[in-house]
Structure 1
Amino acid sequence: MKFLLTTPFLKIWLITVVIFIVLDMLWLGVFSKGFYNKHLGYLANKKNDSIVFNLPVGIVTQAIIATGLAILISLGIQVENTLLTAVLVGAISGFVIYATYDLTNQSFIKDWPWMITIIDICWGTFQGTAAGFYIWWLWSVVK
């Protein structure tokens, strides 16, 4: 676990946080904005019929998720340095993180849409898979 305090890991962690936040901001703010507004608008803070995100909280949340992915994927790479290992660890981690969030919401928030749960879990799995790709690549180039 000493590698978590090394300069290469800290660089990879920082790059991972930035990439993860940018991808999530594009997803939530551009590609799926209308979808989330349609299905979760009844729960959201809104201005001019658009969801208003609490950006600082969102960034901290995404940084926490990205940190977990960077650690888990890097641990997988330390065990078996293959692209397949990195991608599988990323995909499974992304799935578990997003499934936990969405299925917890599904269990107690009245009228939580199943479509949100399904799409969000797919997005989390994609984010984790993508992180597996770029973290594996970063380990080969960051010194």
Structure 2
Amino acid sequence: MNHRVKNWLTAYAVAAVIFAVLDAVWILGVANPLYRSTIGGLLAEKTNFVAAVLFYVIFVAGMVHFGVRPNSTDLTLRQRIAGAALFGFFTYATWALTGLAVLRDFPALVAVTDILWGAAACSIVTWLTAGILRRRLASRVP
């Protein structure tokens, strides 16, 4: 396996673990109570775990590609975090604003909260991942 692929997969694994923990805390502590109290009637009785896993697999790949960028050794931490924040903002805004546009009684509070969470979560995950992989992110491909 070449160095670039190994860098990317390592960054993916680290980001995936961090995001899973961070998002679990978010879902249990903030999102679940907020969703139940504001859009409870829209929620499914059971979570579709296949869809949830697919979301995490795809979303973490996006965070690594647009935020961590493990093979871009010339980027500053600020540039990585800015890319991640924008990725989180745009992706969560897509979901939240679509919900606001097409779902009856979808609250603006949920939309705004989710958009802010997307930007913050991606920024935090990228910051922590980049910190853990600091040496790897700064090294040139041999």
User: 1:73-88 alignment to 2 at 5 Å?
Assistant: 73-75=67-69, 78=72, 80-88=74-82
Structure 1 residue 63: Cα displacement:
2.2
Deviation sequence 1:97-123 (CA, Å, 0-9, x none): 100111111111111111100100010
Question: Is 1:73–1:90's contact at 8 Å kept on the other side of the alignment?
Answer: yes
Aligned to 2:140: none
Q: Distance in 1 between matches of 2:83 and 2:60?
A: 13
Letter in 2 for 1:36: Y
Aligned to 1:19: 18
Indicate the SS of the match to 1:78. coil
RMSD: 2.3
Q: Gapped runs of 5+ residues in structure 1?
A: 47-51
Identical counterparts, % of pairs: 22
Scaled by the length of structure 2, the TM-score of the pair is: 0.82
The answer to whether structure 1 residue 101 and structure 2 residue 100 are counterparts is no
Aligned to 1:49: none
Distance 1:65 1:25, change over 3 A: same
Q: Distance in 1 between matches of 2:17 and 2:107?
A: 29
Letter in 2 for 1:26: V
The answer to whether structure 1 residue 110 and structure 2 residue 109 are counterparts is no
Q: Distance in 1 between matches of 2:74 and 2:100?
A: 36
Question: Is 2:68–2:84's contact at 8 Å kept on the other side of the alignment?
Answer: no
Distance 1:89 1:133, change over 3 A: same
Structure 1 residue 56: Cα displacement:
3.3
Structure 1 residue 31: Cα displacement:
3.3
Structure 1 residue 135: Cα displacement:
3.0
